[in-house]
Structure 1
């Protein structure tokens, strides 16, 4: 946690991954993020993975550091409260993140009647308002057809990382700050719509992959664990450990050749094929049929304990394949990583959780704040932000509008 955004107040009405992750990133940089949910929890309140006690580890992960308000959004009174929170006065407020539909009681047009300078960042499925999730975007942009080994033919492979959700969430946080900056200069509010499908296809285009198929007329082939356009693949050591070995830069390539003592063999291939691998990563990829067996044979004669320090000393780029349990126990990744702190969650579970992913050497890193209990801050927020009296809040509780 850092205090960079401490004055800002963001109201979030969202679920699943993309929109809540935007709120998470903003909260970890110091913004006050107030998440408003249906009483009893929204559609993501009990999502997997869950603990043995039934607590959603997903919820605890994506909502760290936020405040939670629970209202009955099925009733006009509950909807009015959410609209009032999103448009509450204050120079640092009027910032709303949501993945609710474009139309309805949370439309920007409706809310901006309450506050003209409102900034709404709306995560969507498709730009035309149609539904989309990470997996439906991923299959549509062609990634599953180039993932996995060539032996799969045309059979698609879904990956388990919700990449488009995460990119969309990060872009939503960035877009909110951009719109807020312009509001400070002009006084003008606006709505920023961020469809998952646009993030997916734009990212593919930004990486040159769309241009590739448009200019060649062909889809990219599957290359298994080989990194496209560069020298990189998994190799097995003498003690059975699997390492990912990369050589993108000239220094990484020269270090790898020296570490494995394959200088003469590489020079022979260069002479036979009239090519130089020293500076051209594309050439290393094109001639991987000759280079990969050299590396494979050399790695297989040494243990991971031998290769690791040697690779590090020569500037090689490599990493061990680990299970997620091994990653969780990795001292560099988790145990000794200042990004993580072990805290008790509202569920009663205690485990390491990350704060802000950025490190600011000039600032003191604050420990992460646990995710809230559902509705934990309802009374506090309604009193502080809307100025409701204890009696008024009590009546809302009695009527089942607030929990």
Structure 2
């Protein structure tokens, strides 16, 4: 592998979303990622959502560049292999409930003795400590407890969810961030390995801006606000004459003046009381109505053309169909061609962030279950005869 993380070995004990997405990010930037799966069934994500020839297309994305080893962790021989892999790794990523690795005999007390420089990323619903540590926690629960659900949706409707597993993905990003900080400490000789304790709810909570000090100051509770951004005016979604919705962010002082002039309201542009955001917020309803009155007379293209000419941030709300055909996404390699088993051509998301000298790349799509078992075992010293015996015993697949 090439890339900024070439030479880093990651062993993934993960299923579904949080740990596997974190490991995917490592793999896209050059780390060798070895994914341990249960023989026979593998990661449940293999059969989630849209399937192609019996395998989820999400799997092909989530596990690209990874090596799959089918390993029975319930067998002593399988655990011995898992320990050897952890001993050879820079990073281990897992998303069992707290105590899951310990039940297998792969807790930090064991792994850190085998490999003092190991970074162990532990992603769970509520973290490794605290009164809720043993509760089951998926991303949806983390989004609810972390405060995101309370602020999502329309004021006159029940709390809504974001249409993707955002809680899991935010935890993945925090896991990668923590792992890289730990690796930097090890690689620069500042110390040995450590545990990176990531919870779903805290990863969501970390995105909640100033909600806590706002509440602590005067009891303000930020709640659902539809398409607007509370406390920042104007920033909302406005219907156009052809029934579409434009997102318009005119919330800096200079942009607000330009926006008001575009919509034919120089009186608002030049009103000293509206010159700054703290003066505009009490007048949010009036300002939004003025913008809506203007957008309601024009089609989407005319609205966006006028706003772009005035350098006012704005845009249409994209569906996935809009995304895959957009020239900007394409120009920045954010839509990549891929070939699924059987020769089916599809599109896949590109890689982010963009690094100028050591960019990430896609080497292969998510592999078949156990596709790299022999290669991985040979890499930790198992002979061909050993591997054959392990396979015969059902330890590997």
TM-score, normalised via structure 1 length = 0.88
More off after superposition, 303-312 vs 28-37? 303-312
Residue 66 of structure 2 corresponds to 66
Unaligned runs of 5+ in 2: none
92, 96, 99: which one aligns with 2:95: 99
Kindly indicate whether residue 394 of structure 2 is the aligned counterpart of residue 400 of structure 1: yes
State the shift of 1:294 in Å: 1.3
State the shift of 1:368 in Å: 5.2
114, 117, 132: which one aligns with 2:137: 132
CA separation of 1:331 and 1:213: change in aligned 2, threshold 3 A: same
Aligned partners of 1:20 and 1:347: how far apart in 2? 25
CA separation of 1:251 and 1:65: change in aligned 2, threshold 3 A: farther
Residue 229 of structure 1 corresponds to 231
Kindly indicate whether residue 62 of structure 2 is the aligned counterpart of residue 82 of structure 1: no
Aligned partners of 1:215 and 1:28: how far apart in 2? 44
Matches for 1:314-325 after TM superposition, within 5 Å = 314-325=310-321
Note the alpha carbon deviations across 1:274-308, whole angstroms, 9 max, x for none: 6133xx23433321221112111111222222232
What RMSD over aligned residues (CA atoms) do the two structures have, in Å?
2.3
Kindly indicate whether residue 357 of structure 2 is the aligned counterpart of residue 354 of structure 1: no
247, 252, 268: which one aligns with 1:249: 252
Aligned partners of 1:53 and 1:38: how far apart in 2? 20
**Contact 1:247/1:281 (8 A) holds in 2:** no
CA separation of 1:202 and 1:296: change in aligned 2, threshold 3 A: closer
Unaligned runs of 5+ in 1: none
Kindly indicate whether residue 375 of structure 2 is the aligned counterpart of residue 371 of structure 1: no
Aligned partners of 1:347 and 1:375: how far apart in 2? 19
User: How many residues of Structure 1 are paired with residues of Structure 2 in the alignment?
Assistant: 386
Residue 189 of structure 1 corresponds to 193
SS at 2:114 equivalent: coil
**Contact 1:13/1:37 (8 A) holds in 2:** yes
**Contact 2:238/2:248 (8 A) holds in 1:** yes
Matches for 1:274-293 after TM superposition, within 5 Å = 275-277=273-275, 280-293=276-289
TM-score, normalised via structure 2 length = 0.89
More off after superposition, 13-22 vs 230-239? 230-239
More off after superposition, 133-142 vs 46-55? 46-55
SS at 1:158 equivalent: coil
Note the alpha carbon deviations across 1:172-219, whole angstroms, 9 max, x for none: 111111112212214522222112233233443xx1111222222242
Residue 111 of structure 1 corresponds to 111
More off after superposition, 79-88 vs 343-352? 343-352
CA separation of 1:341 and 1:393: change in aligned 2, threshold 3 A: same
Residue 260 of structure 1 corresponds to 263
CA separation of 1:2 and 1:170: change in aligned 2, threshold 3 A: farther
Aligned partners of 1:20 and 1:53: how far apart in 2? 22
Matches for 1:384-399 after TM superposition, within 5 Å = 384=379, 386-399=380-393
Note the alpha carbon deviations across 1:129-175, whole angstroms, 9 max, x for none: 322121112222333233222223xx332333322211211111111
Aligned partners of 1:95 and 1:378: how far apart in 2? 19
